[in-house]
Amino acid sequence: MFNQFNERATNVYVKTIDKFYQKTQHLKQEQSGVTAIEYGLVAVFLTIFIIVVFTSDDRFTHQLQLRFATLASYFANFQFPN
């Protein structure tokens, strides 16, 4: 009687572990939903960053314009060596 109980318990344990393994393998292979969520989060954070940076005070946009003007004047005055 004890052997039958032990055998049944072992079978239940093995089946449970097997089902768990199959489920984890399925989740490992299913990456499309995770990738879509990651891209969505990147888009949301990028949008928030752009809104915060360009709607806050004008220091950032002023500095950006100043840097581009400096680069433009540098390239306008650049002379190639002969």
Give tens-digit pLDDT for 28-40.
Answer: 676 666 777 888 8
What tokens appear for 57 in the block?
Answer: 């005070």
Q: What are the angstrom distances between the C-alpha of 27 and each of 30, 32, 46, 77?
A: 5, 10, 28, 59
Task: State the residue for tokens 């499309």.
Answer: 32
Q: How far apart are CA 48 and CA 44, in angstroms?
A: 6
Residue 51 has pLDDT above 70, yes or no: yes
pLDDT at 73: 92
Residue predicted with more confidence, 60 or 48:
48
Q: How far apart are CA 65 and CA 79, in angstroms?
A: 24
Q: Which helix (H) or strand (E) holds 58?
A: none
> Quick check: pTM over 0.75?
no
